[in-house]
Amino acid sequence: MKQICIRFYAQLNDFLPPERKKQAISSTFVVSGSIKDTIEAIGVPHTEVDFILANGEPVDFGYRAQDGDRVSVFPKFRSIDIGPLAHLQPVTTGEKRFVADGHLGRLAAYLRMLGFDTLYRSDYRDEEVARLSSSENRILLTRDCGLLKRNEVRYGYYVRGTEPAQQLVEVLREFDLIPEIIPFRRCMHCNALLHATRKESILQRLLPETAKYFEEFYSCPGCKKVYWKGSHYRRMTRFIESVT
């Protein structure tokens, strides 16, 4: 039986049981598979790993461990420059777009409220979420480690928080999104971009009090919902100020 020692650093320890955190772990094998498979068998999704050292040398996910190897596995660091070491996570460029799994509906609504293109349906199957992430280059947000271990998922993030507001703050910080916030430009219900709309064209859809006191309206071309700057707008504005 062959053996390697593997250690996970920083937030990768979130995926390990207490007795395995912050220490070298022995992993045995008869036939060497990829280091990616070894890492995920221990419990860490590949989407959380940014670089790997085997005996002090950088390797990629396809590396096949050798008997006696000492392997160090690192997440993406925002405050440390790793210089020439090979990053394993793809670099996202341009507008950051997301797809959230079926358990993150409130987080998806919050991201849409802040202007971020976020696909979500409560009845998404795992294979649909993975396919959308891969085919549309969207960052997959989930609290399901198994979903992040699917081979087709390249961009993914395991959301640690359990409360929606906490999750939103976490995602904003993880992806440096605060400078990109453009609030109230998307429909919180269906993700479509909102259009300014003349009150006269939607009068029949408004309550008398709403039509009397408000002049500025926006409508969704997708689900046809109508938005205006009423008490709900003021509550959401205060919420945005609290998380940014």
Q: List, for residues 152-166, the tens digit of each pLDDT value.
A: 999 999 999 999 999
Average pLDDT (17-32) is 90
Count of CB atoms situated within 10 Å of the CB of 93: 7
What average pLDDT does the chain have? 92
Written as six digits, the tokens of 158 are 């395991």
Whole-angstrom distance, CA of residue 235 vs CA of residue 193: 21
Written as six digits, the tokens of 168 are 């939103």
Q: List, for residues 196-226, the tens digit of each pLDDT value.
A: 999 889 898 888 888 888 999 999 999 999 9
Distant-in-sequence, close-in-space partners of 154: CB < 8 Å, separation ≥ 6: 47, 90, 133, 134, 137
Which of these, 174, 173, 179, 168, lies nearest to 118 by C-alpha position?
168
The more confident residue out of 140 and 89 is 140
At position 63, the amino acid (one-letter code) is Y
Query: Which one of 1-5, 111-115, 209-213 scores highest in mean pLDDT?
Result: 111-115
In this structure, of 41-45, 65-69, 90-94, the range with the lowest mean pLDDT score is 90-94
In this structure, of 11-15, 62-66, 142-146, 211-215, the range with the lowest mean pLDDT score is 211-215
Whole-angstrom distance, CA of residue 211 vs CA of residue 219: 14
In this structure, of 27-36, 42-51, 80-89, 136-145, the range with the lowest mean pLDDT score is 80-89
- Domain 2-74 belongs in CATH node 3.40.600.10: no
Whole-angstrom distance, CA of residue 112 vs CA of residue 119: 9
Which 3-state string (H, E, C) describes the chain? CEEEEEEECHHHHHHCCHHHCCCCEEEEECCCCEHHHHHHHHCCCHHHCCEEEECCEEECCCCECCCCCEEEEECCCCCCCCCCCCCCCCCCCCCCCEEECCCCHHHHHHHHHCCCCEECCCCCCHHHHHHHHHHCCCEEEECCHHHHCCCCCCCEEECCCCCHHHHHHHHHHHCCCHHHCCCCCECCCCCCECEEECHHHCHHHCCHHHHHHCCCEEECCCCCCEEECCHHHHHHHHHHHHHC
Whether residue 147 has pLDDT greater than 60: yes
What integer pLDDT is reported at residue 85 of this predicted model? 59
Domain ranges of the chain: 2-74, 98-180, 195-243
At position 136, the amino acid (one-letter code) is E
At position 50, the amino acid (one-letter code) is D
